[in-house]
Chains A and B, each alone.
Chain A
Amino acid sequence: MDVITTALAEMLEPLRLAMLFAGVCAGLVIGVIPGIGGLFGMALLIPLSFGLDAYSAIALLLGMSSVTTTSDTIPAVLIGVPGTVGSMATVVDGHALAKRNEAGRALGAAYSASMLGGLFGALVLAISLPLLKPLLLMLRTPDFLAITLLGLSLVALLVGRDPLKGFAAAGAGLILSFVGVDDQTAAHRWTFGQVYLWDGLPLGALFLGLFGIPEVASMMSRRSIAEPGTGVTTGVREGIGDTLREWRLVLQCSGIGALLGALPGVGLSVVSWIAYGFARRRRGDGPAFGEGNIRGVIGPESANNATDGGSLIPTIALGIPGGAGTALLLGALIVHGIVPGPHMLEANASVTVAMIFSLAMANVIGAGLCLGLSRPLSRVATVGSHIIGPIALVFVILGAFQSSASVQDVVVLACFGVVGMLMKAREWPRPALALGFVLGELVERNFFLSWQIFGWSTFLRPSFLLVVLLLAVQILWHLSGRGRRDDTQPSPPPGSVWNAIVVFSIAGFVLLTARALPAEAALFPSITAVFLLLVAAAMLVRVLIQRRACGSGVVPASAAADPVPVRAGGAVVVGIPAFLAGLFLFGPLLSSGLLVAATMRWGGESLARSALGGAMVALVVHLVFDRLISTPWPRSLLETALSALS
């Protein structure tokens, strides 16, 4: 008890509270900017923490890292562009709510869920520290494999109206996750001679393309995200009420976040998609998922804030960080003479209490600040799309560029932007692809590690058997028709023979090219490709059956898919290379400003307002990407010419 009082007294000193507040403010700003997250913030703030005492350093660093996943919801809900990888799943229903004029409600629910999730994570950390060390030491690699397989099985909940398209998308996600240099054999899998692809496709650029670009295109095809004056800014309280009503979901998803956060290699992106899949098990009384169901916001938001608490468990208990962010924190603690490990519960117990306190307080302060800002912020949903659209596009492109500071990042963004728009228009579920992509590498890694360490006995571990049993029950449940979710339609929409051809081509390409790879490197891609072949065959059979039934007049005429925003989509896709050309000719500031000013002028704004808008955006880009992040831009022609003159 003395330890707790001592730690609380230390943390409540004005300087430390000020540091906590400063950390929270920094974290909120970093969370809002697409492409950068808590890890970046940690690298930025750690040098500042050297001059502080240990408690103030903890307050600053944990204050920052705990709330990036609170404010990242703001761009996710308002413009459909995730602020960090933690809010990618929130986009799906959060932005749909904004389009239904319920931005305030979505933000209210997201912040309150974030806060409760963060508090729950801190609580789990506090309670479980003495208990979890023996449990963490009991777990073996096959158990991690079982957990990742269980996560992958959630694809079944993300497949949407047409399960075949969903499974095909998940398979494509898995294939994409295998791109890069294979750890087992050092073989290059689909890197096409590009060093850029050695480390795999960048998560940030890929997801900004898949989810951000289609939303920007859809935004540009409307006058604004929501209709002005229709209660956009109200509903914050209703959102909080939704979170409280869904307290079970909050607790369940916070638990998922805290537990998965403690496992090695499981990042925010995995946690939020798994929580989203979990939330989709039950529709509640809202609309279908993907159309603005509040559970789709509450689930991932409560999970991603709980992850921080979870990821600190192995760091504190074992002295082994769970991820890159906690590794940096560990380094900062060591500078202050605090060596994580068993001492954290003995001699350094007050430091541990201070960490838990910082985590909890930061979540409360962060959510409080965001709630205070949510009314004015949700007005963004009513700003004209000719203003907000180009601004969103600039930040999506510059955010994608942060993945590895390469022009190729923008190429990946553009390619997956097109894929994302096509998938959206043709009703292919992008969440299934996302889950496949984030889990593919983990499943493969844990399988090969288990196989090398345990051999066949991998499959006899109780955890593995339990997961197989659970999957069997799940399949039987669905086959018996009792597990059919209420947001799926009894009969899938009519398929097209082109869908089968696309899936068949992907599978064929992978199978043919995998023949040149060593057996271990080819194993998982080949299994996935065979699975895709089966899906393609099932699609083909279904088309044939439907055509025959159509001939006899049984099947109703097909419902039209979402119209493709061809003009806006084309403009956005052309906008990316145009911006890139501007980047090389004039540098990032002028090209950002010009893109925004030109689109505003084209949308009917006066020349002065357009120029002012462009200049403001250039200023923000400069402050954020030059001053704060110091992005390594390619040298522009203008810069070269000016330096030659001087």
Chain B
Amino acid sequence: MLRRFSCVMVAVGLAALLAVPALAGETITLKIGYPAGGGFDLSGRLVARHLGKHLDGNPSFVVQNVPGGGSLKLTEMLQDSEPGDGSVIGMVGPTMATAPLLDPAMQQLRVSEFRWIGGLRNEASVCITGRKSGVVTVDDFRTGDILIGASGKASTTYLHAAVVKAILGARFTIVTGFQGINDIDAAIERGEIAGRCSATYSSLRSMGLLDSVNVILTVVADAATDTAKVPLLSDLAASQRDRDAIQAITGTLTFHHPLLLPSAASPEIVATYRAAFDRMVRDPAFLAEAEALKVEISATGGARIDELVKGYYASPPETIARARELIR
């Protein structure tokens, strides 16, 4: 009898012990809208190791990958169901900010309610070709009967190539269906295709690959592409309307790897997180680890993202119509 009682007590005690840490909410969860292993995952886990140091009480962070629909699933969760008490933050694709603008099927997203904390990177994006392709200049790129690789039709590899093709009036064919950037690069290496767009300039530089590819054209610029004097797509556009349309499609990459709070979060919580983010991106320890990981930090604050996004939605209807036409 005594044995039975002690067994029950041990079981109840264990159950009680187990319940406590799970319910107390002493940690903050950073949800990443992509699977483990990609650029978002790398940046997200970097943030999880540092952001807590800049919040009151130095809470610890746990990372959860919540992949689905190119981060649409997590965006909808943050908009509709995640708690706004600051216990959950998310990292989604920046294109979620303009998804309803460019795709009529995405009207369920209420972007004006998004609570941006900040974006980690200004992702300068370029079109590149392989050394063996013989495509070296913008003119070669425009006039050559070449193949440009892309993954799915909803990916930036396709969208940027489609914009470049339409703006330049280029003759190249976009080959879709590669499983990811690594697959496309392997096909370029084998000489099956000439190149790709949506290549990250900072990655090419940090990996020492600038000498092994031809950088043809900048789609989204930063200081480094300006210094390298890579031709800029918007300089080649025929009208201001086209330039605005390019900006609406590609501009979100200026706040790449963005963090946001659930839409239910109060203005005070948003302000707290924005201040912590601003402190984190200036913290030498954070910057040193980012440099070791080859993650180039060029942060944009949450308030600035709000302004940028408002700007896209204030575009005249003909600009939006042109943007939709460019990526059709």
List residues of chain A with CB under 8 Å of any chain B CB: 39-40, 42-43, 46-47, 50, 136-141, 181, 183-186, 195-196, 198-199, 264-265, 314, 318, 320-321, 324-325, 327-328, 331, 334-335, 339, 404-406, 445, 448-449, 452-453, 587, 589-590, 593, 606-609, 611-612, 614-616, 618-619, 622, 626, 630-632, 635, 638-639, 642-643
Contacts and interface: CB of A to CB of B under 8 A. Distances in A.
A168 B191 CA distance: 39
A325 B292 contact: no
A146 to B, nearest CB: 15
A612 B7 contact: yes
Nearest to B207: A339
B175 A137 contact: no
Contacts of B7: 608-609, 611-612
Contacts of A325: 37
Contacts of B35: 324
Given A321-B182, A615-B14, 9 more contacts: A43-B65, A47-B49, A141-B192, A184-B177, A198-B68, A320-B182, A335-B293, A404-B66, A453-B147
A608 to B, nearest CB: 4
B40 to A, nearest CB: 12
Contact of A631 (B14, B64, B182, B183): B64
Interface in B20-64: 21-23, 25, 29, 31, 35-38, 41-42, 45, 49, 62-64
Contact of A642 (B14, B23, B292, B294): B23
B153 A185 contact: yes
17 contacts: A39-B37, A136-B190, A183-B153, A198-B68, A265-B179, A324-B36, A327-B37, A452-B175, A589-B18, A590-B19, A608-B11, A615-B12, A615-B15, A619-B18, A630-B64, A631-B64, A643-B23
B178 interface: yes
A138 B190 CA distance: 7
Contacts of A137: 189-191
B72 interface: yes
B36 A639 contact: no
Interface of B: 3-5, 7-8, 10-12, 14-15, 18-19, 21-23, 25, 29, 31, 35-38, 41-42, 45, 49, 62-70, 72-73, 76, 83, 147, 151-154, 173, 175-179, 182-183, 185-187, 189-193, 207-208, 289, 292-294
- Most B CB within 10 A of own CB, among A325, A405, A642: A405
A642 B25 CA distance: 11
B37 A42 contact: yes
A320 B293 CA distance: 17
Contact of B177 (A40, A183, A331, A608): A183
A449 B289 contact: no
A438 to B, nearest CB: 14
Contacts of A139: 190
Given A42-B36, A195-B72, A608-B7, A630 B177 contact: no
B86 to A, nearest CB: 13
A347 to B, nearest CB: 13
A452 B177 contact: yes
A310 to B, nearest CB: 15
Sort A-B residue pairs by CB-CB distance and give the 10 closest, nearest first. A608-B7, A43-B36, A186-B153, A615-B11, A611-B11, A630-B62, A324-B37, A608-B4, A183-B152, A198-B69
Nearest to B174: A452
Contact of A334 (B68, B177, B182, B294): B294
Contacts of A185: 153
Contacts of A642: 23
B105 to A, nearest CB: 9
Contacts of A405: 64-66
Contacts of A321: 182
Nearest to A447: B177
Contacts of B29: 630, 632
A47 B45 contact: yes
Contacts of B208: 339
B103 to A, nearest CB: 10
A543 B145 CA distance: 56
A40 B36 CA distance: 7
Nearest to A408: B68
Contacts of B18: 589, 618-619, 622
Contact of B293 (A138, A331, A452, A643): A331
B284 to A, nearest CB: 16
B203 to A, nearest CB: 10
A404 B152 contact: no
A304 B5 CA distance: 48
A452 B176 contact: yes
B183 A264 contact: yes
A186 B11 contact: no
B220 to A, nearest CB: 22
Q: Give the one of B11, B65, B147, B187 with max A CB within 10 A.
A: B11
Contacts of B185: 320
A264 B179 CA distance: 9
B177 A449 contact: yes
Nearest to B184: A320
A137 B4 CA distance: 69
A603 B18 CA distance: 26
Nearest to A441: B179
A198 B11 CA distance: 43
A183 B73 contact: no
B69 A195 contact: yes
Contacts of A452: 147, 173, 175-177
A270 B190 CA distance: 24
A39 B178 CA distance: 21
Contact of A589 (B5, B10, B22): B22
A612 B176 CA distance: 56
Contacts of B62: 630
Contact of B67 (A141, A199, A328, A449): A199
B119 to A, nearest CB: 21
Contacts of B289: 50
B189 A318 contact: yes
A452 B184 CA distance: 14
Given A199-B68, A615-B14, A314 B186 contact: yes
A590 B15 CA distance: 7
A311 to B, nearest CB: 12
B186 A318 contact: yes
B292 A50 contact: yes
Contact of B73 (A40, A196, A331, A622): A196
Q: Which of A39, A136, A186, A608 has the most CB of B within 10 A?
A: A608
A448 B64 contact: no
